[in-house]
Structure 1
Amino acid sequence: MDQLNLRHLYYFWMISREGTIARASEVLDLAPQTLSGQLATFETALGGMLFERERRRLHLTDLGRTVLGYADEIFALTSELNDVVRLAPAERPLSLSAGVSASIHKLIAYNLLQPAMKLKRPVHLNCLTGNTEDLILRLKRKELDVVLTDWVPQEEDQRGFAVHSLAGSAISLFASPGLAEPLMDGFPESLNGAPMLATTADAPYFKNLMHWFSVNGVKPEIVARVDDSALVKVFGSQGLGVFAAPTAIRGEVCRQYRVEEIASIDDVNEALFAFTRSKHPAHDGVRAICENSVWFGSE
């Protein structure tokens, strides 16, 4: 092979990311037969198989893993270059498309996005909420510039995007004044049988909180499961149950929802991350988010 065919390499890269030729063909807008033929041509040029076929799934061979490592670096760099040359002149508004995991508290998401909104250059923000896995797919397809989340997939599933650690906070429990005050005495045993508002979103902090309850022999009663962090707070403000939120925003939570903090639990933490298409984002707004986290710890 005298010259590497970058188009064939790109097709291989997309197939490895999507897991099947059928899914990759949808993303690339190519017929599966065409894509399969291009892959076969690339394998012939390389002199070896890149995938092993097992039922409907494709698994990388040793050669495939080696080629994929180089492909990840090559297309990360080309993505950076593409972002740089496509950025509008400084005098024009900067478009920023951000995905926010539904499990992140809205006040936290607002604070994390603030560095981008405070740039000297005008920023037009398009914000989309959803589950992290769907947002990652949108990021890979360049529909989003950044994803803010509290959940990180396994290392082997992190191909095609970079992970940036932003901040962390202990978790506090809140309730309306009438419910909170009697629960402050004798905490955490006071929570036995207390009404608890749970999140149905895949929030790691809530799983850690439930584990902490179990370790400490505490059994609150789950009275509602809600997949929206703001709606959980509204229910809590109406006295329907205890809810959890990051200690870092307890002042704003108490002011906005007129609730009281029962206690802060240092052993239960929420960590926040930003996913970008490259390790060194060219987008000014994305870079500001990754480099200027604006909250940490407690107030």
Structure 2
Amino acid sequence: MDQLNLRHLYYFWVISREGSIARASEVLELAPQTLSGQLATFESALGGLLFQRERRRLVMTDLGRTVLGYANDIFALTGELNDILRQAPEERPLTLSAGVSASIHKMIAFYLLQPAMKLPRAVHLECRTGATEDLTLGLKRNELDLVLTDRMPSMDEYGAFTVHPLVGSSISLFAEPKMADRLRDGFPQSLNGQPLLANATDAPYFERLMNWFSLHGVRMNVVARVDDSALIKVFGREGEGVFAAPTVIRDEVCRQYEVEHITSIEEVKDELFAITRGKKLTHDGVRAICESEFSFPSE
């Protein structure tokens, strides 16, 4: 079939639900002969029978059971859509499609998205993580409503978007308790030659951190490059090295991963941005994120 006839599918679905053409014709307010003809047309288009007639009963064929499985899903969704459309516009759930740069710590991403989830109106959040370049392409294609990132878009893309600066943070260093205690004395020279767990997602703050080390004559030994912020912390908890994370989630990092804070480096910042299409914020969820006065738990 070049095109599925949904009306015919609906007729078949009602017949299967009611168990007979006679009862289905009453529900659909159609003459039994008309409904029987519509079913025959549908079967012809499918190239097979949906029912066998046995002693005035309709017995569903294998093809019928297959089609019925899809019809149940389709008309269940149709029912949900009808329920939503009956609601007043301001009461309907709001869909928010957000892109989150993979280099942003997941706890920070949660706090950035939270203002939208706290709106009085129900919000259905669809969240995609990935490289900023891929996410901004999705934004340009109207696949996303906004992108949360830790880097500015390229100059070629800048004119197509509006960039909203969000709350930033200094960067802190962490390690398992014994290592952290040892490295606090004589910082930053105490870091020379020590194992470092590097962020493999090219997070801008990590590049700034490495420049800060170089400026202060510190040379650490990069023992692993990991593109998952949670996995870096697990390595750190097991004593494999020092790792960096934004200071605003310091307390949560220490609690969740049983590590200790070595120090905060105020000169190294993790800058965060929301990128949107156009200058007017017409989406309530996007506006809540871009205009919120963020307060992180450790602040």
TM-score with structure 2 length normalisation? 0.69
- 1:72 is aligned to none
Residue 293 of structure 1 deviates from its aligned partner by 4.0
Residue 274 of structure 1 deviates from its aligned partner by 0.2
Residue 193 of structure 1 deviates from its aligned partner by 0.8
The amino acid across from 1:120 in the alignment is: P
- 2:241 is aligned to 241
Matched, 1:264 2:286: no
TM-score with structure 1 length normalisation? 0.69
The C-alpha deviation readout for 1:142-187, integer Å capped at 9, x for no partner, is 1111100000034343132110001111100001112211011111
Q: State the alpha-carbon separation in 2 of the partners of residues 128 and 293 from structure 1.
A: 24
SS in 2 for 1:167: coil
Matched, 1:89 2:96: no
The amino acid across from 1:118 in the alignment is: K
Q: State the alpha-carbon separation in 2 of the partners of residues 257 and 163 from structure 1.
A: 33
**Residues 169 and 296 of structure 1 are in contact (CA less than 8 Å); yes or no, is this contact kept in structure 2?**
no
Residue 95 of structure 1 deviates from its aligned partner by 0.6
- 1:286 is aligned to 286
The C-alpha deviation readout for 1:115-166, integer Å capped at 9, x for no partner, is 0000011111111100000000000001111100000034343132110001
Correspondence list, 1:97-116, <5 A = 97-116=97-116
- 1:48 is aligned to none
Structure 2: tracts of 5 or more residues without a match: 1-87
**Residues 175 and 260 of structure 1 are in contact (CA less than 8 Å); yes or no, is this contact kept in structure 2?**
yes
The C-alpha deviation readout for 1:39-85, integer Å capped at 9, x for no partner, is xxxxxxxxxxxxxxxxxxxxxxxxxxxxxxxxxxxxxxxxxxxxxxx
Q: Once the two structures are aligned, what percentage of the paired residues are identical?
A: 66
SS in 1 for 2:263: strand
- 2:127 is aligned to 127
- 1:61 is aligned to none
Structure 1: tracts of 5 or more residues without a match: 1-87
Correspondence list, 1:1-299, <5 A = 89-295=89-295, 299=299
Number of aligned residue pairs: 212
The C-alpha deviation readout for 1:200-226, integer Å capped at 9, x for no partner, is 112110000000000000011100001
Report runs of 4+ in structure 1 exceeding 3 Å deviation: 295-298
- 1:83 is aligned to none
Q: State the alpha-carbon separation in 2 of the partners of residues 147 and 162 from structure 1.
A: 11
**Residues 111 and 296 of structure 2 are in contact (CA less than 8 Å); yes or no, is this contact kept in structure 1?**
no
**Residues 191 and 219 of structure 2 are in contact (CA less than 8 Å); yes or no, is this contact kept in structure 1?**
yes
**Residues 168 and 297 of structure 1 are in contact (CA less than 8 Å); yes or no, is this contact kept in structure 2?**
no
The amino acid across from 2:266 in the alignment is: D
Cα-Cα RMSD: 1.5
Residue 289 of structure 1 deviates from its aligned partner by 0.3
> Which of the two has higher C-alpha Rg?
2
- 1:81 is aligned to none
Q: State the alpha-carbon separation in 2 of the partners of residues 163 and 181 from structure 1.
A: 41
Q: State the alpha-carbon separation in 2 of the partners of residues 107 and 126 from structure 1.
A: 17
- 1:75 is aligned to none
- 1:20 is aligned to none
Task: Give the stretch that moved more between structures: 122-131 or 147-156.
Answer: 147-156
Residue 230 of structure 1 deviates from its aligned partner by 1.8
Q: State the alpha-carbon separation in 1 of the partners of residues 265 and 232 from structure 2.
A: 19
